[in-house]
Structure 1
């Protein structure tokens, strides 16, 4: 409370400052802003220095997924056969065909190399053959030999069925699991499934997909080539 003896200019504690004092405080706050901005810039530089060289910034969650391939479909086996030949002759190497039934000679039109699966099956069959012979020899001539009617303990004629069955068994298992490994199965999703017409690949349409990872891939040129070949429903699918 202000006393009568106090001068008029003296203020009680807790009263707001004058306009000139308020201006002085505002000026000091503005003077502190450049220092704060400099501190923020220093922190941003520190975060940038922590990023490894060559490391790209993470993709924005709202950004579009990178393209996987350019797809189109044909209505006859003849059309897709000639389309695969044209893509092969144009220098494309990473493209695939999706057909409702096997098209004879399509692998040659695509320029595919012979499959490694026969060599895997041959290795599996050879392993089964050797395993059958060793099994018969170990059990009859080494571990528990029996002399029956004066015959030798290891009479291979009696074990031909066992050796044959083991050869077939190892060949079949190698073929089954080798095909899964080469084809990267099981695969519950593939980017080609996002094409709106792709269910027709099991009915009446013959699809071809040119992957974006192909060295010859160019979005405009590849689309133009597919159009000249007569492809329908040309769509870019994402992974």
Structure 2
């Protein structure tokens, strides 16, 4: 089973592999025959802005990678690369729905879905949702933790499809929901976590698992948390290989 591993902006494949070493070791104890393809992205980042045009240009790199090195069973992506992969999946489902998903499952660490992508796909994005993302970035830029207002609403936002930090997910067509098994990981001290909640909300809740660790915008490192996370990813891999899932 082959998993594509994509680092965040400002990193490289070697650093990302080092950060994931303990987790992957635990995962390989649960799931045999796993292989991981760590890739350096162009210029250490996929795109400069969160504009839809910039992101769609970055999709060309991913598409070439998939054409050259597929098949991949799954993808493990951190931060900006998670935004790239999730948006790639949505565009593909919307415009090329006759094609099968390029991955059978996805693991996203501190990932999000750019609101400009949703707008480009015709999704109604409220001023509230834009304000949540803007506030989260301001908290990050000022070196602060999550907004108290965001933290207070966190649990409700995860389970409220009518108001997921300003997004009404019940208004979205099925083609704009990610329908492969997913695991979503973010830190409770990460000011950008509302974006991760947005991404989780766009995924099928029946084949989705969420793990919130005690850190910030980073790969979790605590041994107990890594053991729990490995179990969730094992579930995700098993769910992706169920005969009923592969027929979707």
TM-score band by shorter chain is: under 0.3
Larger Rg: 1
